[in-house]
Amino acid sequence: MNVLPIPLELFWIWPGIALFTGAAGLAIAAATPGTAQRALDRGVLGLFAAALGLLAVGIAVRWTRLGHGPFLSLFEILVSSLVTLGVGYALAWWRLPSIRRSAAIVLPLLAVMAVWLLVASPADTHFPPTYETSVLWFHVLFGKLFLACALVALGLAGVVIARMQPRFAASFSRMPADAALDRLAWRFMRIALVFESLMLVAGAVWAQDAWGRYWAWDPLETWAFVTWLALVGALHARLTYRLAPRAGALCIVIVFVLAFLTFFGVPFVSTAPHKGAI
Amino acid sequence: MRSPLASVGSTPVTLAVFALLAAGTFVTYGDERAPTWVTAAPLALIALNLAAAIATSRRLRRGGLAVFHVALLALIVVAGFGRMTHLSGRVEIAQGQVFDATAVDIAAQGSWHGAPFAGVRFAQGPWTVDYAPGVKRAHTRSAVVTVTAEGESSKHTVGDDTPLVLAGYRFYTTHNKGFAPIVTWHPAAGPPVTGALNLPSFPLFDWRQENRFTPAGGPEIRVFLDIASPLTETAAWTLDPSAVAARLVVHAEGQRAELLPGATLPVAGGTLTYERLTGWIGYRIYYDPTLPWLFALAVIAVAGLAWHIARSELAECRDVIAPARPERTCA
């Protein structure tokens, strides 16, 4: 019987996944009233940082082995997004101590993505020549920054929504009031809009050079554009109708779900991020 | 009372046309043959809504918001102009041949596009395509020689994300390419005719490298390319048609012959000569004079948005975030 060798990077990524789920569990525990929250917070930070470090090393090992970055398969997109989203959220966590309890919302989501990695194929990928352009780096970077901003906003929106349930209200009682969280979340969403717009522009430049058209309604283009429309629409609706924090939080969740489908749903159902375009 | 113009530019109308555009987007996504108006009509409505909003809202005529909205409006108008003047199509050209505008398969052409391909003159040179193990296409290098109206020629190598740009037309290499045996037909009476027989795309149809033709005054001739080396799937290799060893198997009037380059086969009505093996390559053609304008407007729009948000952020920095644990949000 032939046994395929296990890619080296998995020896770093698998422990990273375990630590990610551990950090998510501790974050939920830390949000439970009556627990030793300060100690648990330190535990969350330690596990989270170690998980990010292990995944980053895993990416570096794979990059060195294959000779190209993690841009192609669902496995590569998931693992690179885990690191960039994790770093983005960690920065917000560090700079805005009052939002730290939102880790109980954000880290479980990242943990689900981490567990998803276990069933995504880590098979080696072929780097198409059309990907050998510096524009790709900008396109991907802007996309990651967009999703990281939306993730922080999602965490705050999740807190607002969770507090609608009395049993969760106590867990997030030390966080700012709904109105303040709403304002902060939408600040992140506005910054997310800038990065998503830049992602679309860079993507169009890349598509023109790579495939001879700047726009062709391929699955990723379509979903990314609909996400942009939803985000711009939500921003207009919030300003015009002065949406209450709970309604605003629901809008953020909807936009994030669309963005999540764009980033991970399309690669899940197609062979490449831009299906058929390589 | 709100004026009609203000109503057209109102946010509820904005949200409604956004919903229309999202619906049109999904229709286009689900059916590639969906009519253009499915997305063009909502975009036109958005342009109207934007123009009315800019005209009636003082807020949209100041600072970054003004830059963003005006650039967005200009982007839609310029993109519309681009669609009216654009052209997209495909062409196959064999090594040694000169670009022939009549051979182009035009996929779409804006009604304001003038006589196509004026000033486009180039000759196809040799090309190569690298393959990674697993027959995965890597780099394409296609040599072309362009000729100006004054008769000055220059050599270029194009491929992958580097198109050949001539008179605004952008020629992109594609996965579509294959072998093109060059044959000469010597009729019993009249001058000889030399041409390329483009075989099906390779290696996509490596199992079907055949073609048929009927020369003037001759019988129908079927040709098949018998390649000496099998397709390599486990190692990297380079496809270079002129370096491939192959025999041309010819079927005519019930007889079969295997020809090497330079060999001749007499058939009824004339003689067929297999000259040499070359390749043909398929190009995707795209013309849109608005591309640099679209890019500039998109960058200006995003810059305006960033400017507006940066100003808002600076204003927000004065706020206090947490009543329970007061702290500044923008340290």
- Sorted by where each begins, the domain ranges of chain B are 4-86+288-316, 88-286
- Check residue A32 and give its pLDDT: 79
In whole angstroms, give the CA distance from residue A189 to residue A147: 10
| Contact by Cβ (8 Å): B260, B225 | no
A77 has a chain B CB within 8 A of its CB: no
Which H helix or E strand runs over A80? Answer: helix A74-95
**Range B5-12 average pLDDT:** 88
B138 has a chain A CB within 8 A of its CB: yes
Q: Residues B215, B218, B220, B222: is their CA dihedral positive or negative?
A: negative
- Check residue A174 and give its pLDDT: 81
- Check residue A219 and give its pLDDT: 85
Best residue in A201, A235, A238, A275 for a mutation probing chain B (most B CBs within 10 Å): A201
**Å from A208 to nearest chain B CA?**
8
How far is the CA of B106 from the CAs of A192, B37, B110, B327, in angstroms?
Answer: 40, 20, 11, 63
The confidence band for B142, taking pLDDT boundaries of 50, 70 and 90, is very high
In this predicted structure, the answer to whether residue B258 has a pLDDT above a threshold of 90 is yes
In this predicted structure, the answer to whether residue B327 has a pLDDT above a threshold of 50 is no
Of A176, A184, A212, the CB nearest to B170: A212
- Asked if A233's CB is within 8 angstroms of B18's CB, the reply is yes
Indicate the range of A215-224, B134-143, B243-252, B286-295 predicted with least confidence. A215-224
Of B25, B298, B305, the CB nearest to A225: B25
Chain A, nearest residue to B171 by Cα: A212
Residues 82 to 111 of A: which have CB under 8 A from any B CB?
Answer: 95-98
- Check residue A1 and give its pLDDT: 57
| Contact by Cβ (8 Å): B211, B294 | no
Residues 122 to 151 of A: which have CB under 8 A from any B CB?
Answer: 126, 128-130, 132-133
| Contact by Cβ (8 Å): B230, B201 | no
In whole angstroms, give the CA distance from residue A245 to residue A251: 10
Chain B, nearest residue to A234 by Cα: B15
- Check residue B290 and give its pLDDT: 95
Best residue in B302, B307, B314, B327 for a mutation probing chain A (most A CBs within 10 Å): B302
Q: Which has the closest alpha carbon to B27: A103, A229, A114, A226?
A: A226
| Of B297 and B329, more confident | B297
Residues 216 to 275 of B: which have CB under 8 A from any A CB?
Answer: none
User: Looking at this predicted complex, what is its ipTM?
Assistant: 0.88
Contacts 24+ apart (CB under 8 A), B313-316: B313/A187, B316/A183, B316/A187
- Chain A hits for B294, CB-CB cut-off 8 Å, are 204, 214
In this predicted structure, the answer to whether residue B317 has a pLDDT above a threshold of 80 is no
- Check residue B36 and give its pLDDT: 84
Give me the residues paired with residue B180 across strands: B278
In whole angstroms, give the CA distance from residue A183 to residue A188: 9
**Range B260-264 average pLDDT:** 93
pTM for this prediction: 0.90
- Check residue B82 and give its pLDDT: 94
> Other C-beta atoms within 10 Å of A156: how many?
32
End-to-end CA distance of chain A: 34
> Other C-beta atoms within 10 Å of A159: how many?
25
Chain B, nearest residue to A204 by Cα: B295
In whole angstroms, give the CA distance from residue B260 to residue B286: 39
In this predicted structure, the answer to whether residue B289 has a pLDDT above a threshold of 50 is yes
- Asked if B329's CB is within 8 angstroms of A236's CB, the reply is no
Name residues of chain A where pLDDT drops below 50.
276-278
pLDDT tens, position by position, B183-200: 999 998 889 999 999 999
Angle at B33 between CA A212 and CA B27, to 5 degrees: 100
B323 has a chain A CB within 8 A of its CB: yes
> Other C-beta atoms within 10 Å of B307: how many?
17
- Check residue B328 and give its pLDDT: 47
- Chain A hits for B12, CB-CB cut-off 8 Å, are 240
- Check residue B318 and give its pLDDT: 57
Q: Which has the closest alpha carbon to B127: B168, B105, B156?
A: B156
**% residues pLDDT > 70 (chain B):** 95
Best residue in A68, A102, A214 for a mutation probing chain B (most B CBs within 10 Å): A214
pLDDT tens, position by position, B239-253: 999 889 999 999 998
